[in-house]
Homo-oligomer: A and B are copies of this chain.
């Protein structure tokens, strides 16, 4: 493939490893660990990998030559910037241990392991992908690795290739499955270690011991670049309201980080909407009041950030959707009714509260909720264009305010959705370093002979040379949650904490940002300039460090 000038220049970048990893290491054991909740249940489910100690790597004063190791690597789930660097770090790490070591990549996600599709990753291949975005080196996929017959099928190819360690690069679900796989392989004496690496642009895989998942830094910087550019346009033209939806369905970290970076007029945080038990109309009124207040100052323009998952966090919408799923499942004749009959049928058969919510929705959206269903017959909430839904309802609300003499402005909304633009961006210096170190460090966990561990780097607000490297037993992040009707051990998902400093900082400033236009324009990610431009971690990470 033809390389861009930036790609060529960037290929030469050597990620900066933590000092502890620059030579041979020794693993220092900490105290045995506990899961974050439901300790007894989880201990029972993971008899071989529960309660292991945290590990920290320190320089080894008496290094010995390591044995060669064959390692497999899998990219699991949605793309995140830096995946290629995890793999190149892992490659360099196992070669450093012994240059006869080999790395195999399973193709298109966990399915590659099950179906025995793989490629040996040689230095020629690896060198093509250093510091690049994307997961295209081996592809990714969403096959869930969670059943024993899958594990057994995978073991066949691992045995055949002499692979004794598997590195799974994924989000909370993929690392949950990595822990289950580690436990299973340990139980049956398969002789295969399993190591996880924390990936997701959504930022919802983090906790007391994992400071950040990789990709969040780069993706939020790309989105913030675009939001900043739009804000500059908005402030120059002074005639549009930009409704900007941001990827991330299960948590609002991306929207919050982008708000901290760009200071928009409005940013909705789903977790707050849920905690305050707000309705969709509450959210609409909140935005409309800001539009009206700005209009009163002569400012008929502004920006609104919306997390992709908002609708699913609104309690009344959740109830409505559950009722609709139930109602439509029991009335197959619904499809044969006319448009008008369908609407009336829904209104007549929902609870009073849900019927009110349904009636309050713009007709197109209300209809969409009864039409588009997933293969399980459920309403497809993700198809709702929340940014358009909100702007339409804000427009309606402004008409009401105008009738009451409380609004006299112009409201011209424009809509944007940013997601795919950031998932495969070339990694920022932070993500390039973090990912490379995660992969390199995973090699050390392999050499240390452990399984069921997550590659861990801490102290991330410091320069990368000062990061602390080690391993975290994945089970220590577990709790029991209901999934598809069954209690399952899973990594607890990190939502935006309303008592955390990132949200508190935002909450303390948003009223000012709403009215006085204090846009910040971060500009594009820079790779070659001064450190304060190129090497800053996210504001979320910096503020969270204050909470520790």
Contact = CB atoms under 8 A, between A and B. Distances in A.
Interface string A82-116: 00000000000000000000000000100000000
Nearest to A224: B4
Contacts of A528: 526, 528-530, 533
A407 to B, nearest CB: 22
Given A9-B529, A132-B521, A526-B527, A233 B4 contact: no
B9 A229 contact: no
A76 B298 CA distance: 21
A51 interface: no
B536 A5 contact: yes
Contacts of A533: 5-6, 9, 528
Contact of A9 (B230, B422, B532): B532
Contacts of A479: none
A420 B527 contact: no
Given A108-B238, A414-B420, A518-B1, A133 B9 contact: no
Number of copies: 2
A422 B136 CA distance: 27
A374 to B, nearest CB: 14
B421 A230 contact: yes
A519 interface: yes
A135 interface: yes
A299 interface: no
A237 interface: yes
A449 interface: no
A331 to B, nearest CB: 26
B525 A527 contact: no
A192 interface: no
Given A9-B530, A229-B424, A529-B528, A523 B4 contact: yes
6 contacts: A2-B263, A79-B237, A134-B521, A140-B237, A230-B420, A526-B526
